Structure 1
């Protein structure tokens, strides 16, 4: 279907990379990088931590100059030229190469009908996600450039999450397109603004005494000995994709209303998301003591950290205790204070945190992750001048059975990513609907007990009451407490 050209012929370079080069800069991994290295090696070809950014460019792209721009940016940032070595070393090392060639694959689909083009792109994204990188060899990224028409291009940028976090994406892409624009107009490479290398962050970590966080985490997790169950429903049946996602985008009006409600409670939209998720976990697990994972940006350690390229995020537990009578406004403020208190301890490695908890050896603290960002990648890119004809989207895959992603901005985007072996597409959609429902039902209920916030969606009611109206001979699939709960939600006051 496509004429494919790979612009990179780096076999000699790859062979050279396999030889130890003692003069190259190398340093240890951050705790999260170590975790990603472990997950990658233990779940090969699973797609875990394979990040993809797609770009729809409604312009006549000069592919040669576009690739040159990427190479220029890669030369600027050491993390983009980094490979990893863990064999025969006391601790895994990341090694910065002096130069690398970016693999670029071109596909010409201009003669194909739109349906064939869409099918090709869908399959390309799937196969590229499950084509692993050799972590011994840099760069741990590649480009697929698909020409759909004279002024229509699709670009797939696939890379290992071990290199970059979400705050780095727009910084790096802005530099690529700024360089491309300069090459296009004046045939000159611009001098990119200097930012500190990622190795500075690792050096900063090496000077910290994270043992001072041990009392905080021991107190925070004392008595919690079993992870919160995700009893949401059935897994998918039969063979198929191993990873799925569903999403919903709220209207600008609803998003503004949620932001205003959060502001009135002296909390953030992020707090509302975490509160809604913890309440949903309570309803399905039956537990009043909830723990889920939270991603922290971790860019407060230096004044200029916000401009740096690399992987600075960290995953830490959020423990939430709910009571039958606690008002929603108090519940939200308690969560918000925990978010603030966490800042001093957010760089602590997860292995240390688990070691300081009461969770049994070999067990995990959580099965779900909540990720919040103030805007989608597309919205962040649109903030730059000249990006009106360019569309961007991000998709990742974590090692958690279920990940909740929320992106603020003018229109809140909620996304559920899930392991299909644990949750079917229908189950994931139901989780998303109920998360959405909890958020909306918080509005105007600041003084209501948090546990009394209705969570069953319209689809739940339809399914629930349809089944109750079946003939008596039909086998019931809903317990009586579901009926009582549903009726209570219909008439909460």
Structure 2
């Protein structure tokens, strides 16, 4: 074995999903993000590189690559040492706006090709000189190694290193923060209790709190993601902060309450389920607050409400819901999905909420006789998600900042803007916590009548041909399902890297046909896979 290999680990469930998505959507921008920082202050290039080398030495996730070809399951490979490659460009005298535009266009066009998952580090680093005391730093990374909190953590660690080195001070003895600790913690968790919790918690749900009423047409074009945003006025923000304090809840709870009210109004339902991204850092892991990696997980939040209920009561219920699921938030979404008796062809939720609270960013802008770093830009949507609609809330410049990223190909821009307008007006009405749910009003009336939504549902389709029937039996056995429609998507049914390999092996055993991984990614339904086998493997051999 390569002596430079330190560890070989399985992937977490979230990493598996990201890997599958990256392989099957190679042109997508959701997996790779590029941040641009403006650096003010005289920069020492040697110190800059050394500071980054030290960060990569201290964080094992930054020395990680991924392997999956011809293996029963994918693995992440951690190396003792990797070479830090920082591309330097001297663009002194160039127009600053043109420089930014050039960087953004280059990365927007090529970012999915700039990072090779099989080669560590999974980073794309560029330093562009504008003058002796002004540079742009381009930080590109793959989301399979860093979540939002970890990005801030890594950047803060870099700046601390740079400050010490630039002052000719020695860095402390390096301490290695190992993502392995989290992977092992996950693998050592007792799953049965948590699975039982989710099964009971989601009992009775047969259909999702869907926003598919706004889907205009199906498309796999992931290049049409756009972002819209708005601020909540500062006076309203302060009143909402006081509301949170007086009710002993967080702004995150306020955000979830506003969304719960919106979905309840749209769907005229009192049992709401939506996806929510949790930070996922277990307090039982030593130094977990300093370890970089992917800790986030997407879980369902279920809120039951009634129209005569007060906002104050709803806030209390949502706070309790978040505390209740906290102990079980490490379970993978595909595992949770398999526990729910959903309508055939349905997902548990089709949109995602994110509350962004990253404490590290402010450190970069502190003036401490070193460089000052300010986040200048992020080309394309700054929220990376493979959901067609993602809603994010954060505090920016003391204002609540709301953003929606959605796929323009699938969603009506007018209706998505209407969602944002309605969310904003709900926030403004929440100042009165004695207000009942039925007293909240919307400013935008959806043009698609909600009772017509059934025509957008994915109709279950039985297998008909002998091949479809045989493939259906394989999928049911591998996925552990009682029924599988021939038009249902393998990955929406909970398929992942291991099940892909199992299906390929079963098809080889039953049909004497050797499928490739790409065959399943490109034909994720039984119907399309049966046609592929017939046209590519059967007819061509006759």
TM-score band w.r.t. shorter chain = 0.7 to 0.9
Determine the C-alpha separation between the residues in 1 that align with 2:367 and 2:256. Answer: 30
Stretch deviating more after TM superposition (336-345 or 91-100): 91-100
Say if 1:376 and 1:408, in contact at 8 Å, map to a contact too.
Answer: no
Trace 1:462-477 onto structure 2 (pairs within 5 A).
none
Q: Name 1:346's counterpart in structure 2.
A: 329
- Establish whether residue 357 from structure 1 lines up as the match of residue 345 from structure 2: no
Give 1:145 deviation, angstroms. 2.1
**Residue correspondence of structure 1 range 348-427 to structure 2 within 5 A:** 348-359=331-342, 363-375=346-358, 378-379=361-362, 381-382=364-365, 385=368, 389-392=372-375, 395-408=382-395, 410-423=398-411, 425-427=413-415
Displacement of 1:193 after TM fit?
5.7
Partner residue, 1:448: 435
Deviation at 1:306? 1.4
Answer yes or no: is the 8 Å Cα contact 2:40–2:371 preserved in 1.
no
Alignment deviations for residues 52-94 of structure 1 (CA, whole Å, 9 cap, x no partner) = 3321112232334312321221122111000111223333211
The C-alpha deviation readout for 1:197-218, integer Å capped at 9, x for no partner, is 1101111222111111122111
TM-superposition CA deviations, 1:431-473 (whole Å, max 9, x none): 22221211111111x22222431231xxx49xx9xxxxxxxxx
Moved more, 327-336 or 87-96: 87-96
Partner of residue 221 from structure 1, selected from 202, 222, 239: 202
User: What's 1:90 paired with?
Assistant: 72
Distance 2:4 2:277 in 1: 35
**Counterparts of residues 125-274 of structure 1 (less than 5 Å):** 125-131=107-113, 133-186=115-168, 190-191=171-172, 194=175, 196-231=177-212, 233=214, 241-274=223-256
Q: What TM-score, normalized to structure 2? A: 0.74
Distance 1:455 1:387 in 2: 49
CA gap of 1:181–1:266, structure 2 versus 1, over 3 A, is: closer
- 5+ residue gaps, structure 1, are 1-18, 465-476, 482-493
Give deviations 1:110-151, integer Å, cap 9, x for gaps: 333344224213313412433352211111111122223332
| SS, match of residue 167 in structure 2 | helix
Q: For 2:216 and 2:318, how far apart are their aligned partners in 1?
A: 31
**Distance (whole Å) between structure 1 residues aligned to residue 368 and residue 350 of structure 2:** 40
- Which deviates more from structure 2 when the two are superposed, residues 340-349 or residues 233-242? 233-242
Residues 128/452 of structure 1: CA separation in 2 closer, same or farther (3 Å cut): farther
Paired position in structure 2 for 1:337: 320
In the alignment, the residues of structure 1 paired with residue 428 and residue 361 of structure 2 have an alpha-carbon distance, to the nearest angstrom, of 25
Q: How many residues align?
A: 444
Instruction: Decide which of 37, 47, 50 is 2:32's aligned counterpart.
Output: 50
Task: Sort the Cα spacing of 1:228 and 1:383 in 2 relative to 1 into closer, same or farther, 3 A.
Answer: farther
In the alignment, the residues of structure 2 paired with residue 111 and residue 407 of structure 1 have an alpha-carbon distance, to the nearest angstrom, of 36
In the alignment, is the contact (CA less than 8 A) between 2:229 and 2:404 conserved in 1? yes
SS in 2 for 1:370: strand
Equivalent pair of 2:222/2:407 in contact (CA under 8 Å): no
- Alpha-carbon distance change, 415 to 207 in structure 1, aligned in 2, over 3 angstroms: same
Give 1:109's match in structure 2, choosing from 91, 94, 97: 91
Give the gaps of 5 or more residues in structure 2. Answer: 452-542
**Partner secondary structure for residue 330 of structure 2:** coil
Question: What's 2:263 paired with?
Answer: 281
Q: Is the 8 A contact 1:175 1:192 kept in 2?
A: no
* Mapped partners of 1:436, 1:347: distance in 2: 31
Cα distance in 1 for partners of 2:358, 2:79 equals: 33
CA–CA distance in 1 between the matches of 2:223 and 2:415? 15
> Does residue 425 of structure 2 align to residue 437 of structure 1?
yes
Q: What secondary structure is seen at the aligned counterpart in 1 of 2:205?
A: coil
Contact 1:195 1:307 in 2 (8 A): no
Q: What residue is the counterpart of 2:493 in the other structure? A: none
Return the offset for 1:426: 4.5
8 A contact 2:214–2:448 mirrored in 1: no
Which residue of 1 is the match for residue 299 of structure 2?
316
Q: Is the partner of 2:113 in helix, strand or coil? A: coil
Deviates more, 1:207-216 or 1:428-437: 428-437
Say which SS state the counterpart of residue 60 (structure 1) adopts: coil
Whole-Å separation in 1 of the counterparts to 2:45 and 2:233: 37
Q: TM-score, normalised by structure 1?
A: 0.81
Task: Work out the CA distance in 2 between the residues paired with 1:402 and 1:478.
Answer: 17
The 1:389–1:353 alpha-carbon spacing in structure 2 relative to 1, beyond 3 Å, is same
Whole-angstrom CA distance in 1 between matches of 2:130 and 2:230: 28
Q: Could you tell me how far apart the structure 1 residues matched to 2:102 and 2:154 are? A: 27
